Amino acid sequence: MTSHGHSNGFKVVGTRPIRPDGVEKVTGRAAFGADFSLPGMLVGKVKRSPHAHARIRTINVAPALALPGVKAVITAADLPEIPSEESFVGEGPINFRDLSRNCLARDKVLYEGHAVAAVAATSSAIADEALERIEITYEPLPHVIDVEAAMAPGAPLLHDDLFTQGVEPAPTRPSNIAKRLQFVLGDIAAGLRAAEAVVERRYTTQPVHQAYIEPHACVAAVAADGQCQIWCSSQGQFMVRAYCAKLLGMGIANIRVTPAEIGGGFGGKTLVYLEPLAVALAKKSGRPVKMVMTREEVFRATGPTSGAVVEVKLGATRDGKITAAQAVLKYQAGAFPGSPVQPGCMAAFSMYDLPNVHITGYDVVCNRPKVAAYRAPGAPIASFGVESCLDELARTLGMDPLALREKNAAREGTRTAYGPVFNEIGYIDTVTAAKKHAHYSAPLGPHQGRGVASGFWFNVGGESSAEVHVNEDGSAVVVSGNPDIGGSRASLAMMAAEVLGIPVERVRPIVGDTSSIGYSFLTGGSRVTFATGMAVVQAAEEVVAELKRRAAMILDVSPDAVAWKDGAAVPTESYLGKFDPLSLATLALKAGRTGGPISAKASINAQGAGPGFATHICDVEVDPETGKVHVVRYTAVQDVGRAIHPSYVEGQIQGGVAQGIGWALNEEYIYDGCGRLENPGFLDYRVPVASDLPMIDAVIVEVPNPRHPFGARGVGEVPIVPPMAALANAIFDAVGVRLADLPMSPPKVLAALTAARN
């Protein structure tokens, strides 16, 4: 099955080797967050709020501490009070005061499931009983769940000190609107005046959870000298270290974080929830503490991404040139500011070359769990509105929806509404490939319809470290600082093998802990194969330079006589025939006598992550009796720059599409009148299962990113951007009704069909 294609002149890049960590993962030996244990370990658990919004009057932990086997209890009083301090990390803003209060509530609980206290006990059953014995008196407060209700004057206020940023003059009264953003290009009024057709609609989306199958889990141990170790699954061991240091007032040098295998994250594991509590409990009890969330806790207290209201207005000339694009985005942030409304605004129209754009965004707090990043944070929400509206515009104009996109496509030189001008991008290539794909002209059956939609994501670079070590037999080790969330060990090993000129099976990639590799920003933003890949390539190139020096030394020739080819030092053109090749294995064997071990490291801040674009085609069949929508065919075309390991690139595309289909059709947070989540489990929060989906045809388009040594762009996020609109557009094509509210679940579709019939 392993193909060794030699396209593009590469020997390893572009082939499909078996991933180096694969056998561990198919035999059950890979150790995830909850698989790690230490002798004498305690079980830690969290006491959570039953209220959506309440003032904490008193907390009495004495009855819990009195229980034999209970070794420690903590509340917010055990964490240092942190002043408000906003910084931009990961894919969104973060305020460490808020993060501290999200980990353990101080003064008020802001959502059902908000952590209030934590215990460590000698068994799970004792910990459960200890939670029962913690006495908390609450003063329940009015709560608000809906985003527009939270924005309304007189809404229950979550934070007395929250004043809307981004409005002039600065407001004198607090509100739930944390921030207003605007992005303006050209003159929207002039653009609307120039329009010969205008389409306007309001769309809504519901919060959806990242729903990684592995619940959050960690083990923490603190020694008497304050040295602390954490073993956990997260999207960044350095993120866990930095956040714990900040939240616990510890020195970074006193914390060592070892990454476990991570059982899915999708952005949801870019924050800490349990780790600071486990450290505080371990410190207080003097014993290692393990904490593992239940699925219910994962739903109630982590993630999700925002629900939102998206209002879109598009104007165009009769021949399909868009003259005006306007959007208002209102995103739920959950209990603390920090929804992904900013990237939502920035991504909204970025597929298109538009003269007049006006985007307004609102970041709104409400009594729901604090949102966390979810795959292309903010973009799928905005795109559901924009790409649905574009479909309506195409129908109004009587134009093919791909032709409309083609006519307005962003290209090299297009200025985006958020500022930058695109360099080499592959959007138009995805539209062209979609038009040419057999799927686009295939016949449809009864009750079936076809929809298309496009998507954009920035992708990020950032700080990454990597090391390449040559072993004594000429094999190599690659060390990186990024958890492997979906096959990045494979792509990093492949790029190192390509540079070293050896088979990828001779390269072992490992993910180092925070004390064994230089700082690396977390795994997110589709950055690892791009940015950490650049660090790996740089380190491997330094190894090759050193190998050539060693060869020159052994051969007693000038260093410029030596080139590197197929894993060996060979004569450069002008020295042909002057010496026989010296293999990496030979050079490695002689390393001790030529200057010592051969290794190199690179720590970089990678710039130039090429933006990613995708265009999807979706066929659905709508059951007119039940309103159930079945996806019968799906094709996802994406510019990936260069596919390092095509199978894992396809996997990212297929996985993103599946999540988008879940978001479109089924997934949502359902609250009762008291602000309690009614569906905190996989039975009622329904993610797509195998029988819900067809095969997903991932079509790879390669417009190489000039800033990456092999041309790679990030691939993991953009595939979740188009599906919701693609499905809504397909449903319209099938049954002639416009579904503007997610999820497009059977009751909603049936109601829309019934309304249309009447």
User: Which residues are designated catalytic?
Assistant: 717
β-strand 86-89 against 357-365: which pairing, if any? unpaired
Pick between residue 402 and residue 492 the one whose CB is nearest to other proteins.
Answer: 492
Rg (CA), the chain: 27
Q: Per the structure block, which two tokens stand in for 548?
A: 């050539």
Q: Minimal CA–CA distance to 643: which of 564, 711, 575, 708?
A: 711
Pick between residue 345 and residue 494 the one whose CB is nearest to other proteins.
Answer: 494
Cα separation, 538 vs 456, in Å, equals 29
Q: Per the structure block, which two tokens stand in for 27?
A: 């035999």
In order of 162, 508, 601, 643, 714, the CA distances from 20 in angstroms are 49, 7, 21, 18, 21
- Minimum distance from residue 653 beta carbon to other proteins (Å): 8
Whether 559 and 579 have beta carbons less than 8 Å apart is answered as no
- Minimum distance from residue 685 beta carbon to other proteins (Å): 9
- Minimum distance from residue 692 beta carbon to other proteins (Å): 8
Pick between residue 136 and residue 208 the one whose CB is nearest to other proteins.
Answer: 208
Q: What distance lies between CA 337 and its chain's CA centroid?
A: 19
Strand ranges inside 206-321, DSSP E: 217-222, 228-232, 255-259, 289-292, 308-316
- Minimum distance from residue 433 beta carbon to other proteins (Å): 19
Cα separation, 71 vs 281, in Å, equals 8
- Buried b / exposed e along 244-276 (16+ C-beta atoms within 10 A): bbbbbebeeebbbbbbbbbbbbbbbbbbbbbbb
Pick between residue 262 and residue 740 the one whose CB is nearest to other proteins.
Answer: 262
Give start and end residues of each alpha helix (H) in 398-532: 401-408, 427-436, 438-441, 488-500
- Minimum distance from residue 22 beta carbon to other proteins (Å): 4
- Give the other-Cβ count within 10 Å of 482's Cβ: 31
- Minimum distance from residue 212 beta carbon to other proteins (Å): 6
**Those residues with Cβ within 8 angstroms of residue 564's Cβ, 6 or more apart along the chain or in another chain:** 501, 544, 547, 548, 570
Pick between residue 37 and residue 182 the one whose CB is nearest to other proteins.
Answer: 37
Q: Which residues contact other proteins by CB under 8 A?
A: 1-2, 16, 18-19, 21-32, 34-35, 125, 210-215, 261-266, 292, 294-295, 485-487, 645, 647-648, 650-652, 654-659, 681-683, 687-693, 695-696
**Those residues with Cβ within 8 angstroms of residue 661's Cβ, 6 or more apart along the chain or in another chain:** 631, 634, 688, 692, 693, 723, 727
- Minimum distance from residue 32 beta carbon to other proteins (Å): 6
Pick between residue 294 and residue 607 the one whose CB is nearest to other proteins.
Answer: 294
Which strands sit side by side in the sheet containing 612-622, from one edge to the other?
448-457, 612-622, 629-639, 696-701
